[in-house]
Amino acid sequence: MRVVTWNLWWRFGPWEARQKAILEVLRDLRPDAVGLQEVWAAGGENQAEWLADELGLHCAWAPSPAPERWRQRVGDPTVDIGNAVLSRWPVVEQAVLALPAPADLADGRTALYARLATPAYDVPFFTAHLTSAPHASAVRCGQVTALAKFVARHRGDTPFPPVVTGDFNAWPDSDAVRLFGGYKTEPAVPGQVLLDAWEYADPAAPSATWTPENPYAARVLEPPARIDYIHVGPPGPVGEGHVRHVRRAGDGPVDGVWASDHAAVMADLAADEIGT
């Protein structure tokens, strides 16, 4: 089962040219399930639905309940922002969690749950977008606590472990990522462990998903960091969900166009029973 997470940078920059590059990257990756953040919808068009149609995938979409601050940044009061899940298999259940934030940082960030019905079992799949303020570590800790509880409520009775994708806007050794994983410190939900798929990566592989190598990210003069994640619960009874391979993707231009300001993360998970 090939999983991808990617922040698509909404309607910033040359978004129409970027959209084509996004599609080409995803087409080359041939994912089974994708968690997307900063997805746009406007005028009857929906970026996630368009990508799903082009790739032959199912789609679940959840708009932000409070997009006003995002709209002010691009000067367009009609564009929505949200999270989405694309899936090779039907989405048979979904739910949305509003992530907690104080008033000065409340810009409508959410997590989306989608239950994917494979022929062999269901896969509890999640994607989330945490606050980006550099000083807001405590806020992100509150958000991952809420997210961990959301995962616990929806993981269900299935042999496949929960898969949680997203832009956490936090470094791997941060309090928020450690708290969410629950294996380097006390877990946010007692007994719940969610493994960072990058633990299985080649130590020499480039890992930064936010890096000045990308001209869109370089403009803010921040150091390179891995802030985008695929987390997976411990493998199932016969190894379902075990991370076989993980790497960065979407980390270079397509025909001269960078698809997003973030690189994607791609992981191959063991799922022999469903032919992947």
Alpha carbons 153 and 91: distance in angstroms, whole number: 17
pLDDT of residue 274: 64
Alpha carbons 32 and 161: distance in angstroms, whole number: 16
276: Cα separation from own chain's centroid: 21
Please calculate the CA angle 115-15-46 and round it to the nearest 5 degrees: 35
Per-residue pLDDT reduced to its tens digit, 132-189: 999 999 999 999 999 999 999 999 999 999 999 999 999 999 999 999 999 999 999 9
pTM above 0.95, yes or no: yes
Per-residue pLDDT reduced to its tens digit, 81-98: 999 999 999 999 999 999
Per-residue pLDDT reduced to its tens digit, 219-258: 999 999 999 999 999 999 999 999 999 999 999 999 999 9
Q: How many domains does the chain fold into?
A: 1
Alpha helix segments (H runs only) across 162-222? 175-181, 215-218
pLDDT of residue 250: 98
pLDDT of residue 275: 54
Mean pLDDT, range 28-52, rounded to an integer: 97
Q: What is the CATH number of the domain that holds 134?
A: 3.60.10.10
pLDDT of residue 273: 65
- For residue 221, the enclosing domain spans 2-274
pLDDT of residue 216: 97
Per-residue pLDDT reduced to its tens digit, 177-202: 999 999 999 999 999 999 999 999 99
Cα separations (Å) of 97 from 112, 144, 189, 198?
A: 6, 11, 16, 25
Per-residue pLDDT reduced to its tens digit, 102-111: 999 999 999 9
